[in-house]
Amino acid sequence: MRFISLQSGSSGNCIYVEAGDRKLLFDAGIPGVHAARRLAACGRDIRDVDALIISHDHGDHARCIGVYQRKFALPVCITKTTLAAARRYPLGSLREVRFFRSGQKITFGRVTVETIRTPHDAADPVAFVVDDGDCRLGIMTDLGHVFDALPDVMASLDAVLIESNYDPPSLAHGPYPQLLKDRIKGNGGHLANEESAGLLVGAASRLRWACLGHMSEANNTPQLAMKAHRAAIGQGLPIHLAGRYEPTEVLKL
């Protein structure tokens, strides 16, 4: 399995995964030309992607769906509720849509994408586990809070992209209005560095690597996120950082 975070954060999200003989994109929150260029730099052609799978309706994940389909002919996998909510953006016509229900498994040949309903404050949000029969890769962002099923899901993974969104002191003393601060740290918001680190502690015995993503530009830094995770789990687990405006290297399983 191969993984590339093309971009991660509130400015836009898009993730590429090769699993078995399938090539999948998760989320379309960045312009299609950026995704295509970044994939090409890694030796991949966006037109070879088998499907675009959408996690939820927020603009940093869904606003460019229509462009990806019309420009690159990518089939879109999405829930009906998410698509209806995402129509507030100018998606245009969508000709090839495969609907799934949150919590349902989507199959692509021998590759399975499990969808896990999350309490994030979107219309019908899901996280993902990609299973090729040998390895399990989690795409765990926009989680809301550490909900009951999450530790068990994490413990089943061989690698994970996990949100490490904010540093609590930075959020508390940062520039956001109080209403937005309350939303971020509330049950429908995002995970703090320490919450993400705690989940990795519980999963570290199986994990081969983790990638920290969806970091706040105003309320976090890569250094703070890494410090929190190293304090919790030590130096044994390889930890990568998903950039806000640039791709990761190709991470392998």
Q: What CA–CA distance (Å, rounded) separates 61 from 58? A: 6
In the chain, which residues have pLDDT < 50? Answer: none
The share of the chain scoring above pLDDT 90, in percent, equals 100
pLDDT of amino acid 195: 98
User: What does 67-129 look like in DSSP terms, one character per residue?
Assistant: HHHHHH---EEE-HHHHHHHTTS-------EEE--TT-EEEETTEEEEEEE--SSSSS-EEEE
pTM for this entry: 0.97
pLDDT of amino acid 185: 97
Number of folded domains that form the chain: 1
CATH number at residue 18: 3.60.15.10
Beta strands in the chain (DSSP E): 2-7, 14-19, 22-26, 51-53, 76-78, 97-99, 105-108, 111-117, 126-131, 136-140, 159-163, 209-213, 239-241, 251-252
Q: What CA–CA distance (Å, rounded) separates 201 from 218? A: 26
**Residue span of the structural domain in which 60 resides:** 2-252
40 CB-side CA count, 13 A: 7
